[in-house]
Amino acid sequence: MADTYAGLQRLSETHDFAVASDDPDIRGWDVVNNASEIGKVSDLIVDPAAMKVRYVEVELDRGAFNLHEQKRVIVPIGGVDIEASAKHVRLAGMALTDIPVLPQFQATAPVTGSSRAAVDAGRKAHDDEARLTRAEEELRIGKRQAEAGEVRVSKHVETEHVRQPVSVERERVRIERRPVEHAIARDVTIGQDEIRVPVIEEEVIVEKRPVVKEELIISKERVRESETVEADLRKERFDVDDDAHVLDRDAQPRTRTGGR
């Protein structure tokens, strides 16, 4: 495990490095997983040779994990989302039960005194060896919150012309003429006369009033989907050109044939 963190240091323990002025210093920010707070950023683990931040050191909240003592774990910088507006560091795609078992940072001690002498002796014993390293790219996948779009719900007014039959009653005046065959003897005067008959009918009264007919209930839910990430990774391969046939590939003694 010590070799894994060889050359790495806590930023707070270095004297020649600091957070760039255009980058936020996330030390002391809250660390959250989904909607729950799980700790705070205690330090940054930096690679002085590459001048890069490799890990975020998180001091876990004891109450969130039922811890009896202080515990700090480290998370690769590619596995966190920095939310500068809320001053939050979010652990993306990590279950709550996976966090307490994350590794802890162990700084490697500098080589001094007798240990340095042993290293020098080992180097002298292998001065006749040449070393060629092989490297390859690894794929690191992180996630962050991004706005994918929005749903706008509004309403507008439409005018619809409706036609509805209505039954109404009206009075009509009917006039009949009948001859009087057996006139009753009485005094009859000749002159002008008038009879008024009022005519009644129903009027249709139209009234409009708003009535709630339907409602929309708008909410959001989280769904988990699987996506495939594709990338081209470069790998170094060793090429050995033995043009003089001097390479002992099987590390076996060679035999000669001839006069000697």
Q: How many domains does the chain have?
A: 1
CB atoms within 10 A of CB 94: 17
The larger pLDDT score, comparing residue 146 to residue 119, is at: 146
For residue 192, being part of any structural domain is answered with no
| Residue 96 forms part of a structural domain | yes
Q: Is residue 84 part of a domain?
A: yes
Q: How confident is the model at residue 241 (pLDDT cuts 50, 70, 90)?
A: confident
Is the residue at 230 inside a domain?
Answer: no
Structural domain contains residue 153 = no
Range of the domain at 97: 3-109
pLDDT in tens, 149-193: 888 899 999 999 999 999 999 999 999 988 877 766 667 788 888
Least confident of 148-162, 209-223, 233-247: 233-247
Give domain status of residue 63, yes or no. Answer: yes
pTM: 0.43
> Which pLDDT belongs to residue 3?
61
Q: What is the pLDDT of residue 127?
A: 56
Confidence of residue 74 (pLDDT cuts 50, 70, 90): very high
Residue 82 within any structural domain of the chain:
yes
Residue 260: pLDDT band by 50, 70, 90 thresholds?
A: very low
Kindly state whether residue 99 falls inside one of the protein's structural domains: yes
The residue that leads in pLDDT, 236 or 259, is 236
SS3 track for the chain = CCHHHCCCEEHHHCCCCCCCCCCCCCCCCEEEECCEEEEEEEEEEEECCCCEEEEEEEEECHHHHCCCCCCEEEEEHHHEEEECCCCEEEECCCCHHHCCCCCCCCCCCCCCHHHHHHHHHHHHHCCCCCCCCCCECCCCCCCCCCCCCCCCCCCCCCCCCCCCCCCCCECCCCCCCCCCCCCCCCCCCCCCCCCCCCCCECCCCCCCCCCCCCCCCCCCCCCCCCCCCCCCCCECCCCCCCCCCCCCCCCCCCCCCCCC
Which pLDDT score, from 0 to 100, does residue 117 have? 43
* pLDDT at residue 250 greater than cutoff 70: no
**pLDDT tens-digit map of 14-35:** 887 888 888 889 999 999 987 6
Report the CATH number at residue 18.
3.90.50.10
